[in-house]
Structure 1
Amino acid sequence: MIEDQRHSPKLLIGIAGGLIAVIALFMTYQWMIASNAEDLPQHQADALPAKAAPAEAVKAPPAAASEAAANTVKLVEEDILKAPVPENASLAKEEVAKLQDIQSQLSEQEKSLNAQHADADQLIKLKEEQIKLLEAQLAQKP
């Protein structure tokens, strides 16, 4: 290209128009996909109702326990432990893999929390020493 063609306003307008057209096509495609996804029926596995837990397993906790439960974050649903294992081998393998993934996440979180707890204990000890030193400095001043 020669110098005049590189700085041509027609070329810049063409490039900008092309980019706008590509963006408009992409947005139209996304909009059409989203509208089609709402019209599609749900997957059969999603549509299956969850099995109810036995009535004796679901009991009202005492008031103190319910307050403590409200303050804590629920990491794992308890019905996972009581759910029957699927008879289909591939579904059972998927369930086992999912439970192993959850277990590894929980163990990583436990390690992280233990490390944070140890760091907090160390910070408390250091702050106590700092307070003692500051008190000693204040006692030395006339």
Structure 2
Amino acid sequence: MTLDQRNSPKLLLGITGGLVAIIALFLAYQWFFATSNETLPEHEGASLTAPAKPAVKAEKAPEPLAQTEQETIQLVDEKILKEAVPENESLAKEEVAKLEDIQSQLNEQEAMLKAQHADADELIALKEEQIKLLEAQLAQKQ
């Protein structure tokens, strides 16, 4: 190729057009064929579509302790425990990993709730002590 042919705007335009066409074809392929394959497996789709149940409702009046113990809040759907383990070993390992992840999240949540209860008990004790001190100061001033 001579120097004039290499610096030709037609050649540059042709190369640029070819690259744009290849990229456009690739993106069109991804858009048309990848969206049709986005169906989730049955066990994953169910967990994504089911809304989480609220733990506590604000409008609800406080119930007796015995009644709230009977109505335990369900954190994990029971049908997960009753489903058959997949025959494919990799899917079974994936299920086990997912269940272990859920269990670790529940354990972390339990530890956090216990810490919050301990903190709340400590705050209640400190507030009671503060109230006693304020009552004593009020009694001294009168």
2:118 aligns to what?
A: 118
1:103 counterpart letter in structure 2: Q
The superposition leaves residues 68-105 of structure 1 with CA deviations (integer Å, 9 ceiling, x where unpaired) of 35xx4x32111111111111100100000000000100
Mapped to 2, the partners of 1:48 and 1:118 lie a distance apart of 37
1:137 aligns to what?
A: 137
Q: Aligned runs of 1:42-61 on 2, under 5 Å? A: 42-43=38-39, 45-46=41-42
Q: Which runs of 5+ in 1 are unaligned?
A: 1-31, 51-63
- TM-score w.r.t. the length of structure 2 is 0.54
- Mapped pair 1:83 → 2:89: no
Q: Aligned runs of 1:1-142 on 2, under 5 Å? A: 40-43=36-39, 45-46=41-42, 68=71, 72=73, 74-142=74-142
Distance 1:116 1:44, change over 3 A: closer
Distance 1:47 1:108, change over 3 A: closer
- TM-score w.r.t. the length of structure 1 is 0.54
Q: Which runs of 5+ in 2 are unaligned?
A: 1-27, 47-66
Let me know the Cα RMSD of the aligned residues: 3.6
**Identity score, percent:** 61
- The farther-off stretch of 88-97 and 39-48 is 39-48
Count of matched residue pairs? 94
